[in-house]
């Protein structure tokens, strides 16, 4: 659980900023396996629940 590693909001924000900076730099690439429109979030959840999706799922607006 994240709470075991981050005690204060400031630490969480610093960690998130560091992660986003690494991703933005291109050192880490995130493969997006499927996309769902935000209006279809229930479908995304159903796909995850029955194992029809894997990896990273993005909800788009």
Tell me what the mean pLDDT of segment 31-48 comes to: 95
**Which has more pLDDT, 54 or 21?**
21
Closest listed residue to residue 33, CA positions, set 23, 48, 18: 48
Whole-angstrom distance, CA of residue 20 vs CA of residue 25: 8
The mean per-residue pLDDT over the stretch 31-54 comes to 94
CA distance linking residue 5 with residue 8, whole number of Å:
9
> What pLDDT is attached to residue 1?
56
Q: Which of 38, 40, 34 is nearest to 52 (CA)?
A: 34
Q: Please tell me what DSSP assigns to residue 52.
A: -
Give 36's DSSP letter.
Answer: E
Q: What is the per-residue pLDDT for 54?
A: 86
Instruction: Look at the pTM and tell me if it is higher than 0.75.
Output: no
Question: Any idea where the domains of the chain sit in the sequence?
Answer: 1-30, 31-61
């Amino acid at each position: 659980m994240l709470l075991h590693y981050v005690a204060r909001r400031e630490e969480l924000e610093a960690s998130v900023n560091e992660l986003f900076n690494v991703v933005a730099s291109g050192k880490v690439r995130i493969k997006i396996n499927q996309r769902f429109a935000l209006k279809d979030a229930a479908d995304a959840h159903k796909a995850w629940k029955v194992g029809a999706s894997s990896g990273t799922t993005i909800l788009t607006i």
